[in-house]
Amino acid sequence: MLIEQAIFTSAANVRGGGYQLVATSPGITHSIAQQLSVWGPSHDSLLDQGAGAASINFHPLEGDSYCVSKTTAAGGEYSARGGRQVYTQCLVVPRDMLARFGNSPFALLRAATAQGSIIVHDCIPRRLEPFRLVGRAGAVDMLLLTQFVQDVGLGGLVRLLRAALTNDLLGVTTASDMARLMAGLFNCLPVECRTDISFSTGLKFSARRPYRVIALPADAIETRRLQRTAALVVVDLTDARPASADIRDGWPGFIAEVLEGRQPGQLQALLGVERPGLKRTDLHELADRLRSQLSPSQSGAVRGLGPKSSRAPKPFRTASDEPRCDAARRADAPHPFYQRTLSGDSPAGSLASHELDPAQVLGVHCPEAVEQLELLDDAVFEAIAGKSEAFEQLRALWPQVLGRLGRSTVDESREQYLRHVLNVWRHFLDDEGDKDLHRAARALDVMCVLLDESAL
C-alpha cells in the first residue's frame, strides 16, 4: 500500500508563476490534484510569520483517501514580493493505511518523518515517488493524552471536545501548542469518529479551506469578525472559567470521568475496540453504555473542573500518591502500584481487566523515564543522520536506559528504531541512483548497538 505525495508552493514554470502543485507522484489523479490545489495554502497563509512557522493539516479527499499535510515557511518568495514562501507537502493516504495508525494524522506523520519521507526540498524535483510506511499505532497515545490534560485541564478538555463534536466550524484560541492539543483531542475519540474532524493547526481561516477546527490568532478584533462573517464558534482555552454545563453529560463527560477516576489507561481498552459504522451522533448513547460498565471506583466525581492553573501539576494523580521512579524501582517489575493499575478492583471480564502496556503506565506516571526515552529517540535518529557525537551518546545511553527501565518498557521503542534502520537499507538497496553508503553503514552501526546482548 503506497502513499502518494505532492508539493504545493510558489514557483515559476511552464504553467505560469504563483502558488500551484509543482510536483506530484504518478498516482495523483487529475481529480485529486484539483482538490489539493483548492485546499493548498498560498502567500501569507500561516498564522505565525516566524522562520519556524508550521501547520499540520488534515482533510478528506474523494473516494477512500485523506490528505495529511505539513505546511512550513521555507525561505523567501521567488517573486521577491516580500514575506516567506509557504511550502506544503501533501500525503494522500488510503483509508486502510490511516487505520493502521489509529486514524491519527499525527501518528502517521510522526512515522513518515522518522523514516525521512517528510522533506522540504531546496530544489524541488519534477517527479516525486510514492512511498511505503512501516509500523502502526494504537488507539491511544497515553503520553499525548497526559500532555493534553496538563495543557488545558479536564474542564478545557471537555469544552474543546464538546465543541468539536457539535460544530461545523470551530476556532480555538490557546496559549498552548495547537498541534499538541489536536493530537490530544484525537486521543479522546473512538477511532471510527476521528476521520470526521478535519483541522489545521496553524493556517489562517479561508472559505475555500473548510476545516472543521482551526487555530485563531491572538487578535480579538479578527476573532469577532470571523464570528460575525463566517459563523465561527470560538472556544477560548485561555479563559480561566470552568465548563459552564454539567460536564458529566455525553461523551466528553464520560472521558472526563474515566480520567478523573484515575483509570486513564482504560481508554486504551475502551477506544481500541472496533465499532464499524460508529458515527459522531452515536457517541452520547455509547457513553451511557460504557459508563454502565465502570464501577464507582473507576468513575471519578467530576464537577465543573477548571483549567490547569486550578489543578495539581499531574492530571491523573495527586502529589501524595505519585510513584517514585528511581534505580530501586524498575517499571518492568510487578510493583504493587503497577499491579493495582493493571488489574483494578473490578470483577474478571470487566473493562479494567485489560492489561496496559508497561510503557503506557510509565509514560503517565514517570516523567523522568519519558525524558530518558526522548533522549534515546534523539540519539538514534541523529546517529543515523550522521552526527558522530550522537552515536557515541547512543552507545553510552542505550545500556543505561535498558538497565533503568527494563526490556519490556523499551522493546516498543527498539522495534520502531529497527523498522527505521530496515527502511534506510531498503531505500539503499532499491535506489538506482547515487547510493548513500555512509547513511546505510551508520544505520547498521545503530542496529548493532540496539541488538547488543551484553547490554541486557
For the chain, residues with pLDDT lower than 70 are 13-17, 75-83, 240-248, 262-265, 294-371, 408-409, 430-435, 453-456
Q: How far apart are CA 388 and CA 395, in angstroms?
A: 11
- Please give the pLDDT value at position 84: 76
Sheet holding 65-76, edge to edge: 16-24, 4-13, 84-94, 65-76, 54-60, 199-200, 213-215, 170-173, 233-236
| Max Cα distance, the chain (Å) | 69
- Please give the pLDDT value at position 327: 37
User: Which residues partner with 214 through β-bridges?
Assistant: 171, 200
- Please give the pLDDT value at position 247: 57
pTM: 0.66
Q: Give yes or no for a contact between 291 and 324, defined as CB atoms under 8 angstroms apart.
A: no
Instruction: Please report how the helices 367-385 and 388-405 are oriented relative to each other, as an axis angle in degrees rounded to 10.
Output: 150
- Please give the pLDDT value at position 213: 97
Cα 247–Cα 249–Cα 253 angle in degrees, nearest 5:
55
- Please give the pLDDT value at position 216: 94
DSSP 65-91: EEEEEEEEEEEE-TT-SSSEEEEEEEE
Q: How far apart are CA 401 and CA 10, in angstroms?
A: 45
In tens, the pLDDT along 254-297 reads 998 888 775 666 777 788 888 999 999 999 999 998 887 765 54
How long is the chain?
456
- Please give the pLDDT value at position 167: 93
The C-alpha cell that represents 383 in the structure block: 546517529
DSSP 103-140: T-HHHHHHHHHHTT-----SS--SB---B-------S-
- Please give the pLDDT value at position 78: 59
Q: How far apart are CA 438 and CA 388, in angstroms?
A: 12
